[in-house]
Amino acid sequence: TVDRVDVVAPPVLLAAAVRGDLLDAVPGYRSAFLRTFGGLTPENGQKMDVLQPTWGSYAWAASDRLVRFANEQRLPVRGHPLVYWDQLPRWITRPWVPWTRAELRAVLRGHAYATTRRYRGRIDRWDVVNEVLDWTGRRRPSVWQNVIGDGYVEDAFRAAHAGDPGARLVYNETGIEFPSPQQDAAVRLVADLRSRGVPIDGVGLQGHLDVDGPPSSEDLDAVISRFAALGVGVEFTEVDVSLPGRPTTDVLARQAAAYATVADACWRHVACDRMTVWGIGDDHGWRGRDARALVLDSGYRGKPALTAVREGLAGE
Ligand code: G3I
């Protein structure tokens, strides 16, 4: 579906994952971010091990600093993530006495509520649940899934909505850019939540891609359309495109083409309003320096991928 050309829609925002610990520590990091991107997601700084290191006591300081920085720069923040299977504090994964379902539900709801409540009016969208399904489409095992069961997803959305009724609430998933049983299950999950009035506003497609097998335009059109038909927004939330080996001109051009496919798909659908890349420059990408997966190189110079993304998001 090509629908962006038919309406007056705001431009698509290009954002990036930011590590607060690098903002002041690494020369060039902050200025590269500010001159290239128009919004941010904390890469690790709002994960539960950071925010609630001991049961019931929150460590907001580092997260507050990053949010204050963004607010001062008038840049929107995607909060990330309220409920995730990874990066959990040890008191959750290794309790002295195993959790009862009621106890862990209270923990989950308390964390989602306290966090959205704290940043009410300062963070306007949240990854509420992150990576719910495995590649076969079944629920991914996690302490939340194992102890609470399927209902943990609904619990998280309802608690986040209670904490900030104005925030846009997103289900963020990995690997569903391509047609697959996992994508089908994600569509069924969103349809079910919507049909029962659970406050979900959007779906995040993470977009961790490889230069040798990126999704096609048709793949992306199809997945965006499936979710848009359910009445939710869609965004690309963690895009990177890793390289197999040396960054030859040819490989960098293919990386740029993969980025262009994502940017272009987002531009063409009114439902898609933001594209976030998962890091600033190749020196700090989570996939390792050699993967060179980002749009700026290790010296924070724009790669062909940056030009491609800018053109794609502008509909050029
Ligand atoms: O900061 C410490 C450092 O002090 C220590 O010396 C070092 C030793 O291992 O670890 C450093 O922490 C690492 C942290 O990244 C910061 O670099 C952690 O070990 C490492 O596990 C952590 O990885 C993060 C990963 O999530 C964990 O799941 C990545 O940075 C982060 O990019 C990645 O992001 C996730 C999204 O949240 C969800 N989707 C998938 C994506 C990629 O895995």
Domain hosting 83: range is 4-313
Find out whether the beta carbon of 25 lies less than 6 Å from any atom of ligand 1: no
Is ipTM beyond 0.95? no
Which pLDDT value is given to residue 316? Answer: 84
**CB of 76 within 8 A of CB of 124?**
yes
- Cα–Cα distance measured from residue 281 to residue 249, given in angstroms and rounded to the nearest whole number: 18
Which amino acid does the sequence have at 158? R
Q: Whose CA is nearest to atom 23 of ligand 1?
A: 286
Q: Is the CB of 276 under 6 A from ligand 1?
A: no
Per-residue confidence (pLDDT) for residue 9, from 0 to 100: 62
Mutation test residue for ligand 1: of 43, 88, 236, the one with most atoms within 8 Å of CB: 43
Q: What pLDDT, on the 0 to 100 scale, is given for residue 7?
A: 59
Active-site residue flag, 238: yes
The atom of ligand 1 lying closest to the CA of 286 is: 32
**Number of domains into which the chain is organized:** 1
Cβ proximity of 87 and 47 under 8 Å: yes
Residue 286 alpha carbon to ligand 1 centre in Å: 7
Residue carrying the six token digits 């608690």? 159
Q: What is the pLDDT of residue 11?
A: 77
Low-confidence ranges of the chain (pLDDT < 70): 1-10
Contacts of 72 (CB under 8 A, 6+ apart): none
**Residue 218: active-site member:** no
CA 172 to chain centroid: 6
Residues paired with residue 160 on neighbouring β-strands, in sequence order: none
CATH number reported for the structural domain that contains residue 70 in this entry:
3.20.20.80
Question: What's the CA gap between 184 and 139, in Å, rounded?
Answer: 13
pLDDT tens-place string over residues 285-305: 999 999 999 999 999 999 999
pLDDT per position as a tens digit, 208-265: 999 999 999 999 999 999 999 999 999 999 999 999 989 999 999 999 999 999 999 9
pTM of the model: 0.96
